[in-house]
Each structure stands twice: as C-alpha cells, then as structure tokens.
Amino acid sequence: MGILNVTPDSFSDGGRFLEKEKAVNRALRMKEAGAAIVDIGGESTRPGASPVSEQEEISRVIPVIEEVASRGIPVSCDTSKPGVAREALRRGAVMINDVRGFSDPEMREGAAGYNAAVCVMHMKGTPRSMQSGPRYENLLSEIREYLHRQASLCREAGIPREEIFIDPGVGFGKTLEHNLELIANADFFTVRHPVLMGVSRKSFIGMISGLHPRDRLGGSVASACWLALKGVDILRVHDVKETVEALKVIKEIRKRRNE
C-alpha cells in the first residue's frame, strides 16, 4: 500500500502532493513500482496534528481519488469522517482506512453499503493528545482485544470478515518501547483477521537512528521486511520501489529455506 498524503502538514511529505496533478502522478509512479493499492488521505494524523473540517478534507482528496481510481488503481481513503468516506467510495475508492477504528457507526454502515474493505486501527486518544504519556497494563492483549471488538462491530454492520483488516497502530499513542514490542510481535495479531501495518519513516526509526523522516529509508525497509516475515498482509509505505525490491528478495530466500 502506497501512502499519498494530500495535506500541507503530514510528518514526512506534507505539502509535496497538494496539487492534483502531482498527487495523481505520484500514485501512478507507486503503481508502476509495485503498489497494489494507494492510500489517499487529506488530514494529517501525526502527533499533535489539528483536525480539519469535513469540507476541507473532501476538497483535498476527492478530485485525486476520482482521477486515480479512473486510471485503474485500487484506492483506499484514509479518513475518520463518514461524509468523506461515503464520498470517497462513491467516487471510486474500494477501502476505508480509519485511524479511529470505525468507532462511529456511520463509518461502519457507509463501508458496508458500498461493499468496501476496511482497516480498523488502534489509537490511544486523538492525534493531538495521543503521545501524552500513553500507558498499558498489557500492550498486546489490550490492543488485540480492542481490534477484535471493533472488527466484530464491522461484521455486525454487514462487512465480511475477509474484508476487515486490523492495524495495531504503531506510533498512535505508543512509546518507543510500545512500538518496538508491537513490531516484534506482529504475528500476535494475525490470528483472526488479515493485518495491515504502517511503520514507514515513523518516529521510532528516528529515535533509533537519529535521522529526519525523509532519511529513514533503511529503517523503514528493515521494518517492512520483518513485518512480512511475521505474516503481515499489507505494508503501508512511502517508499514503494525500495520496499517491493526488498520483499522480492525475501520471498526468494524463503522459498529455499529448510523447514
């Protein structure tokens, strides 16, 4: 899954793809590089980010979604607003990626009405507050229980189990140690639903390497390879070409291992 932020303030590429033509060209390049789906978002969810209005988010993403979908590229819309989700699905999106875990019944009903796939993500708090001392009694169990509970609500709304992906939400209300524990134990989440995870260029890589988001390619690809080996089904990344190349090598190596 290629990441396409149509925002002025996303942590890694904010402002780079605000213009429709640039955004569409970016999506085309990601598809050529091997992305199976492009995730388009119009509201930054980086730590401390301020929300934008529904109308503003629609004006940012819908023209891009419509054009990208018309080029035959499967599109996911990264949103937590029912109005944005409905409009995105109406204009060609096939998936909704909700950082708020489909806690709003309208989000679940809208996705079911369009036969869309969904990604249910875990976030502790809101983007503005989520990094203010997050604590867990049992990190893995608490997050998996939340994801399964929200996934059950999606099934009750009429979304098939196989169309419900879960994401433990690396970087969303987690410390460095929390993030590393989630990544190290990603297979803990693969029991009941397919798993989607996004770790590309995130702050935990910067905490380890000391590098700026745009310089975190090595850490991002290393993390992606680990997650693939742990059975994660979809990797949400900025650097599609490099990640795809690495995964091809991993795949060939795995074919030749002795069980």
Taking the C-alpha atoms of residue 188 and residue 140, their distance in angstroms, rounded to an integer, is 8
Which residues are paired to 118 by β-bridges?
Answer: 96, 164
Q: Is the dihedral of CA 224, 212, 214, 132 positive or negative?
A: positive
Q: Could you tell me if 95 and 77 are in contact, meaning their C-beta atoms sit under 8 angstroms apart?
A: yes
The active-site residue out of 31, 91, 202, 216 is 202
Furthest-apart CA pair in the chain: how many Å?
A: 55
User: Which tokens belong to 203?
Assistant: 């702050």
Selection from 30, 36, 43 nearest residue 99 by Cα: 43
Residue 62 has, within 13 A of its CA and on its CB side, a CA count of 15
Give catalytic status of residue 202 as yes or no: yes
Q: Hey, what amino acid is at 4?
A: L
The active-site residue out of 60, 81, 108, 236 is 236
CA dihedral 144, 150, 153, 158 (to 10 degrees): -90
Task: State how far the alpha carbon of 249 is from the alpha carbons of 165, 166, 229, 245, 254, in Å.
Answer: 25, 26, 12, 7, 9
Give catalytic status of residue 236 as yes or no: yes
| Residues catalogued as catalytic | 202, 236
